[in-house]
Homo-oligomer: A and B are copies of this chain.
Amino acid sequence: VSAGQREQGRRLIFDAIRAHGPVPRIELSAHTGISRATVTTITAEMLARGLIEETLPDEEARGAGRGRPRVDLKLRGAAHLVAGVKVSTSDLSLMLMDFEGRDLAVGTHPLERGIMSPDRLVDEVATALSDLMAREGRTHDALSGLGVGIAGIVDALRGFVHWSPSLSETNVDLGAMLRARLGIPAIVDNDANLVAVAEHRFGLARGHSDFVVITIESGVGLGIVLGGDLYRGSRGCGAEFGHIKVQLDGALCRCGQRGCLEAYVADYALLREAALIMAPDRDHPATLARLLEAAHDNDPIAQSILTRAGRMFAMGVANLINIFDPELIILAGEQLQFDHLYSEAVMDAIRASIVQVDKPPPEVVVHTWGSKMWAMGAAASALDHVADLALAGMNADAA
């Protein structure tokens, strides 16, 4: 058995335990095609390192109780602790997650400003993490890894932020800054990509290898999974959806270009138009809530604003379907407030705008996650990274 095969075997077995655990060794052999002897050797290593643990199945699974008691393997939750942080324009949302993927704690850290310097953002993340860990009676030294999700154009392989609406500077090596400041492994990725990871691991895309996640918040995000992996494009900045153009010479976008989908669909775009009929509140969400309420109360201008946003959104989603023809499209949102984008009228418009063939259209599902969606994606990705490091460490020691 070569080092490469041993490494591949560890990865296969680890993934199988994560996907199927608690699971007996004999089933791991069946799932991976690896011999029972090698499964025993590799899982012994993992047990010795505390990455996995043995558990007794419950009575029923154990059967009649004859013979040697069956022992299952599963990831050991206490093996590693990671944090996920999502940067939004109003706050940081945080989650602590154990190695099994259980969320242990969540938190919110308000931000004074929606746009800040990279140094300031790193300070805010450090403070927010310390606060959350202190609440749990720990320090951030207990963390094995950090995942940060942020809107914008991110080269995730480097943790490099080309542009983000949250940062006052472009081309920021945020990953390196966080690693230097916190002294732990840290990954940075586009926030919608991380939601795609969370949908894949914990959400509606479990068992799917090809799907598209569209996130709706202050902006519009896209995560594409092909063959089980995030699709990132050749320069690491593919899957950009908010800035596809839906109107030639159209509305001005905060990116400086005209006609971007975001310039019709994002909350700032709605608020810009809402100024015609209502004075702005102190905070944007309150104004947005009044706009949505006015539309529900049949205010024709409010309805016109939301209807156009919905139709532009449908056009963008339909274009995505025409190009990718994915098996599943998940519209992932934190709250129900964007239901003008999830309405039956929007779904009908999507179906009417895709190329018509004699097959059922791709499934479009709405997933309203609640507030922890974003941080969970960031934590799930941190978990992947920590698992990669742990497995690479086993290989290095074995070599």
CB pair B233–A357 under 8 Å, yes or no, is no
Q: Smallest CB–CB gap between A397 and chain B, Å? A: 27
Q: Smallest CB–CB gap between A398 and chain B, Å? A: 23
Chain B positions within 8 Å of A234 at CB level = 210, 325-327, 362
**Candidates B162, B257, B362; contact of A353 at CB < 8 Å:** B257
Chain A, 226-244, CB within 8 A of any chain B CB: 226, 232-241, 243-244
- Let me know if A371 is at the binding interface, CB within 8 A: no
Stretch among A74-82, A313-321, A381-389 lining the B interface: A313-321
- Let me know if A255 is at the binding interface, CB within 8 A: yes
Which of A163, A238, A319, A358 has most chain B Cβ within 10 Å?
A319
**Candidates B224, B248, B319, B357; contact of A311 at CB < 8 Å:** B248
Given the known A-B contacts A244-B319, A311-B248, A319-B244, are A324 and B238 also in contact in the complex, defined by CB atoms under 8 Å? yes
Chain B positions within 8 Å of A171 at CB level = 358
Given the known A-B contacts A234-B327, A353-B245, are A170 and B358 also in contact in the complex, defined by CB atoms under 8 Å? yes
Cα A131 to Cα B232 in complex, Å, equals 49
**Number of residues in A with C-beta < 8 Å to the partner?**
48
- Let me know if A246 is at the binding interface, CB within 8 A: yes
- Let me know if A355 is at the binding interface, CB within 8 A: yes
CB pair A243–B163 under 8 Å, yes or no, is no
CB pair A233–B324 under 8 Å, yes or no, is yes
Chain B positions within 8 Å of A153 at CB level = 355, 357
A residues with a Cβ closer than 8 A to B are 153, 162-163, 170-171, 210, 222, 224, 226, 232-241, 243-248, 255, 257, 259, 311-312, 315, 318-320, 322-327, 352-353, 355-359, 362
